[in-house]
Copies of this chain bind each other. A is one copy, B any other.
Amino acid sequence: MQYQKLHHLQEIITQKELDVAYLSDPMTIKYLTGFGSDPVERVLALLVFPDHDPFLFGPALEVEAIKGTGWPFPVYGYLDHEAPFEMIAAEVKKRVANPKMWGAELGFLTVTRLRALKERFTNAHFNFDLTPTIEQMRLIKSADEIDKLNEAGKWADFAFKVGFEAVHVGQSEQAVAAELEYALKKHGIMQMSFETLIQAGPHAAEPHGATSDRMIQDNQLVLFDLGTIYDGYISDASRTIAVGNLNERQKDIYKVCLEAQLTAQAAAKPGMTAAELDRVARDVIEKAGYGEYFIHRLGHGMGMSEHEFPSIMEGNNMLLEPGMCFSIEPGIYIPGFAGVRIEDCVHITKDGCLPFTHTTKELQSFN
């Protein structure tokens, strides 16, 4: 059922006795309406009411695209020389003469724009923060969202395949990234969900490094971290492969990281806490003596972005529930030596979890 999420939000604001809700994060608007667009400095907003149809307001150039999505409710456009908040206020007042209780995404709305609204509704209160409401809604993915995440995952698997084949001694990290992104674009996958990360040898131990012009050398571990966007939903996965022959220490950190990843992925299920799951992977790495080299949380929530809930980390006692989606990505980073990270994103099911990516996690060697 289309607009089910929007309907659910309408129920929430009715229950909270709000007069109007002002949503303006483009990702929220995509989530609730299916219309995805980044208006940058222009105004794009979704207004939702307890007893009236919602409306969209945005740049005039976007109006046809909004209608093209099948949006059945009003949409109003403004030209660059027009005053968007005047126009929004007028439309709101047609529906609710004197709205007092507003909801808004206070974690997204800027001070300037809040003031623009307040000037036009001087008796109104803007204290109801919809940011946690929307985060909570987005936490549990619906079946159609899982479908899109699976599709995005397939393209990440494809990218690994192309990327691994492009790896050889003397090739730069950047050239490998170029190859796999090129192959994706040839298939119509035009956007990565973040900058593709390919790091060879000791470079992979730099937690905030970027894909560089360094050449891949023989007998190195090469770390891949990449993702694609499919219809507004992302994939995000990491694999580490071998070039040439590895020494015992390289093999050992791979083996330990893999065991941590597989153990955590096998353990993830409803009813455990995010912190407990982090602990499962961390125990494996600590027992093998590499605890000090696993310097980040086990995972992050994901869906439309890689910055969602739940965060899989110490201290987070959120219970895992079916439909939650997150990464399981232990890593071991030994400065000056090598880095390994192995990552699948998964969704929690009734009794476990299923990954969105399926590229083998057994150590693969290339020459």
Contact = CB atoms under 8 A, between A and B. Distances in A.
A174 B190 contact: yes
Given A112-B106, A112-B131, A208 B62 contact: yes
Interface in A100-114: 104, 106-112, 114
A129 interface: yes
Contact of A178 (B81, B126, B186, B207): B186
A30 to B, nearest CB: 15
A111 B109 contact: yes
Interface string A192-227: 000100000000000110010100000000000000
A62, A104, A175: most-surrounded residue (chain B CB, <10 A)? A175
A61 B111 contact: no
Given A80-B313, A106-B112, A181 B191 contact: no
Given A112-B129, A112-B131, A65 B208 contact: yes
Using C-beta atoms within 8 Å of the partner chain, give the interface range for chain A. Answer: 35 or more
A341 to B, nearest CB: 14
22 contacts: A40-B307, A41-B307, A61-B208, A106-B115, A107-B112, A109-B110, A110-B110, A110-B111, A111-B126, A112-B129, A172-B188, A174-B185, A174-B186, A174-B190, A178-B182, A178-B186, A179-B182, A181-B181, A181-B182, A181-B185, A182-B182, A190-B211
Given A107-B110, A110-B109, A111-B110, A185 B178 contact: yes
Number of copies: 2
A297 interface: yes
Interface string A125-155: 0100101000000000000000000000000
A172 to B, nearest CB: 8
A177 interface: yes
B174 A297 contact: no
A291 interface: no
A191 B177 CA distance: 12
A81 B186 contact: no
Contacts of A286: none
A314 interface: yes
A244 interface: no
A336 interface: no
Contacts of A114: 111
A61, A104, A188: most-surrounded residue (chain B CB, <10 A)? A188
A172 B114 CA distance: 44
Contacts of A61: 207-208
